[in-house]
Amino acid sequence: MGPGPLRHMHSNPDPQGSQPIKSRPTEALLRLLIDGHSAASLTGISARTLHRLAERGEAPRPVRVGRSVRWRRQELEDWIEGGCQPTRDAGRRVR
């Protein structure tokens, strides 16, 4: 029988063998991807404007995480630092 659906918990028990080890994203990992409101705050423009710029290839593209849309913080910071130049992903939409 094959493995079941992905779960939020690892199937490997802890060293004592009493409970499965829960997988928790670290705070540092959560800061790598930011939501539209945080991205808008970081860039100083509205979330909708950021989406429009990304759709036209004028801003970094967001990524999909499940049903959520997130931006890579470092890409936005680099884009701002570089003078908000158009990105090479012009015209490619996130689906």
Q: Give the pLDDT confidence of 19-49 residue by residue, as tens digits.
A: 555 555 666 666 799 999 999 999 999 999 9
Pure H helices in 1-95? 27-32, 36-43, 47-55, 73-81
Q: Give the pLDDT confidence of 2-17 residue by residue, as tens digits.
A: 555 444 444 445 455 5
Please give the helix or strand (H or E) that residue 68 lies within, else none: strand 68-72
Where in the chain are the domains? 34-84
pTM greater than 0.85: no
44-to-3, 57, 63, 86 alpha-carbon distances in Å: 46, 18, 20, 17
Contact 12, 3 (CB under 8 A): no
